[in-house]
A and B are shown apart, each in its own frame.
Chain A
Amino acid sequence: MSSAQLEIQLISVLVAIACAIPGTFLVLRKMAMISDAISHSILPGIVIGFFLTENLNSPLLILLAAFTGVLTVWLVETIQKTGLVKEDTAIGLVFPALFSIGVILIAKNANDVHLDIDAVLLGELAFAPFDRLLINELDLGPKSIWVIGSILFVNVILLFTFYKELKLSTFDKGLAISLGFSPVLLHYGLMSVASVTVVGSFDAVGAILVVALMIAPAASAYLLTDDLKKMLLLSCLIGAMSAIGGYWLANLLDASIAGAITTVLGIIFLMVYLFAPDRGIISVMLKEKQQRKEVLLLTFLLHLQNHDEEKERRVQHLQEHINWQKLKAREILQLAEKNNLITINNAIISLTEKGKSFTQEAISHIVTNKETAIEGLKRDFLLFRG
């Protein structure tokens, strides 16, 4: 591995982690689309900043562009407050307008500006190692590492300083206000951090793919854990892994590094979406199936309890009376027998002692409208689940 390759991977890992931190809070605060808006609307800021500084890595440009990002958030909120349109429409109106202004600015000055629209959209990660920071002839490595490194540093410091405030205002806004945290200040603080991060990352991964790095790791992590700290760590980890994986995928296909990183992120999200324990859709669907079966089991047991007469408790009768398919009826019967809730004598079913007390308690929960308590009941009684 050459040093340039190493540097590219280092830059992309730094970008991924820097994005994952604000991204986690954006996802939790249901503001993921704001990052999309910011990443588009910083374009005019970048173009104007580039006119002034002629240097994509200049701090002035980053601040100016980040200001455009915060301006977007403010504009969206102002439009929304007029009540003329809803929030999502406001977002959808503001960023294409600003982005279009940026594109037109570039197009009209194409001769004087060495700013390629593709570079803004896709980033130029492969060229990043060539733009080096030189101080007194001393090579300090690529400029991008320093830019994104300092942004990451600031993000981490801010995260540690304001962790408590961020956490509280994210999960319990009312309590946060009553404790005296200013929601407006925190909101705009987070937006500023997101804007600066987007701007700092755009020339590595491009304006649109920044969104992927902000949202996808956080969304995947959110399906894996309930703990905010774990979620932050996981999103950083997923981001970093995709950064490295994406680099090698791009190497293999000789294609855009940013595109490859996003593709890896997409694959990771797809895997989590399908297979995450508890929250992945496969496990959700299995759980739904189990729930359905256990509801049937309960219905069956209640039916048995309500009927002492033998003709209502014959095995075949179930199919006729509760209107179950043969297969389903047998499944439920087996489940009940396995759990020792019923016994079958000469094709006559009767509840066991355990079955009776289970049914009793379940009824009392249903009558008192405490359906959720039945879950605990099932845990206590059922050795085999549906």
Chain B
Amino acid sequence: MKEYLELLWTDYTLQVITLGTAILGATCGMLGSFAVLRKQSLLGDAISHAALPGIALIFLITGTKDSTTLLIGALISGLIGSYWINGIIKRTRLKTDTALGLILSLFFGVGILLLTFIQKMPDANQAGLDKYLFGQAATLVVKDVWIMGVVSVISLIVTLLFWKEIKLFLFDTEFSKTLGFKTNTINFLITSLIVIAIVIGLQTVGVILMSAMLLAPAAAARQWTNKLSVMVSLAAAFGAISGVIGTAISASQNNLSTGPVIVIVAGVFVLISFIFSPSRGLLFKEIQKYQNRNDLKLFKTLTFMHEIAKTHENIEHPHAIKILNNFQGFTKRSLEQLQQREWIKLQNNMWSMTHKGFNAAQDIHLMGEDE
């Protein structure tokens, strides 16, 4: 770990790579939030697979391994894939899941066919194309990071410019239509941004795991807030941190592709968020469930006492604890808890109801009648 930090301080290549994965993580987290909220989580998976034949075709045509050129091919075939998915859903009886699965596997298959065809070509300097399957952050150079930076700034600007429209579109498409927003344009805008984000991530994370890069930070961020702006910023932060930590781990070990490690780190973020988020988290829900159950028990006891106290003119008239013996669900602890809430008073084996307790019991009674 210490070695890594020293390296990060001195090694230029490592700095470039770390910066690259951080930028990528932030961009993907930001745009992934939109995908998650639109319930299009798996679209990213389909598009990233669909980008593969584009990479191979561009290589076949131009013979260059320049990553920018290849990414343009990826962009084109990714866009074709996403429009075909739309066409299938709109024009045929096939459903979204089938359309996604079809495009994903068919495009990927064509990509594999082309890649293996390229590999068998006698003269081509084809080695290295398969880094697009799992991603190799080590192959990032300064130019790639520049491209990532430009793309992320552009998506940030576009997002900020159309913030209101995007927000309304995400949460109430129908309403935004009636307000006269061009929903088709916004839809196109978001989809294009997501496709571009996927394409710039291919070199680092790879075709197969790219979708997780979009989803995981957004899904984690969603647990901590109900506000879109907070969610988008959090997702960007989670994405960037996953990118940095993932790169660190994969750089300090042999033989580890960056993609899978980043995905695992992002997955840990999701897991932590699922469990510990303060309002939606599973832990919180369990605690609340326990508290509710406890409250219910107390209410039951209080109601029972109320029935007894009602029969006396002075409601604070003390009664023996013994008479509660036939009642299920009272314990020494629950009596103490009732006393803590100042609903009853306890005095050597006797209990008496307070006015506060009497009113509380009546409220419970009324609530029961309302239902």
Q: Is the CB of B95 within 8 A of A30?
A: yes
A70-98 interface bits toward B, Cβ cutoff 8 Å, 1 = contact, 0 = none? 00000000010010111011011100110
With beta carbons under 8 angstroms apart, the residue of B93, B100, B256 that contacts A33 is: B100
Tell me the complex Cα distance, A103–B257, Å.
8
User: Is A279's beta carbon under 8 Å from chain B?
Assistant: yes
With beta carbons under 8 angstroms apart, the residue of A82, A259, A273, A281 that contacts B116 is: A259
Kindly list chain B residues whose C-beta atoms are within 8 Å of the C-beta of A280: 92
Tell me the complex Cα distance, A191–B227, Å.
37
With beta carbons under 8 angstroms apart, the residue of B94, B113, B133, B261 that contacts A255 is: B113
Q: Is the CB of A209 within 8 A of B100?
A: no
Query: Interface-forming stretch among B210-218, B308-316, B330-338?
Result: B210-218
Q: Is the CB of A82 within 8 A of B108?
A: no
User: Is B136's beta carbon under 8 Å from chain A?
Assistant: no
Give residues 70-123 of B contacting A (CB, 8 Å).
87-88, 91-98, 100-102, 104-117, 120
- 11 A-B pairs with C-beta separation under 8 A: A32-B95, A92-B211, A96-B208, A96-B211, A104-B264, A209-B108, A211-B101, A212-B102, A256-B112, A263-B113, A284-B91
Kindly list chain B residues whose C-beta atoms are within 8 Å of the C-beta of A218: 98
Q: Is the CB of B108 within 8 A of A262?
A: yes
Nearest A residue to B205 by beta-carbon distance?
Answer: A96
State which size class the interface on A falls in: 35 or more
State which size class the interface on B falls in: 35 or more
Chain B: residues with CB nearer than 8 A to chain A? 36, 39-42, 44-45, 49, 87-88, 91-98, 100-102, 104-117, 120, 130, 133-134, 208-209, 211-212, 215-216, 219, 222-223, 253, 255-257, 259-261, 263-264, 267, 270, 274, 280, 282
Q: Is the CB of B113 within 8 A of A215?
A: no
Q: What is the minimal beta-carbon distance from A291 to any residue of chain B, in angstroms?
A: 14
Nearest B residue to A265 by beta-carbon distance?
Answer: B106
Q: Is the CB of B219 within 8 A of A100?
A: no
Tell me the complex Cα distance, A121–B215, Å.
23
Nearest A residue to B87 by beta-carbon distance?
Answer: A281
With beta carbons under 8 angstroms apart, the residue of B41, B120, B257 that contacts A89 is: B41
User: Is A25's beta carbon under 8 Å from chain B?
Assistant: no
User: Is A108's beta carbon under 8 Å from chain B?
Assistant: yes
Q: Is the CB of A121 within 8 A of B106?
A: no
Q: Is the CB of A86 within 8 A of B41?
A: yes
Q: Is the CB of B109 within 8 A of A258?
A: yes
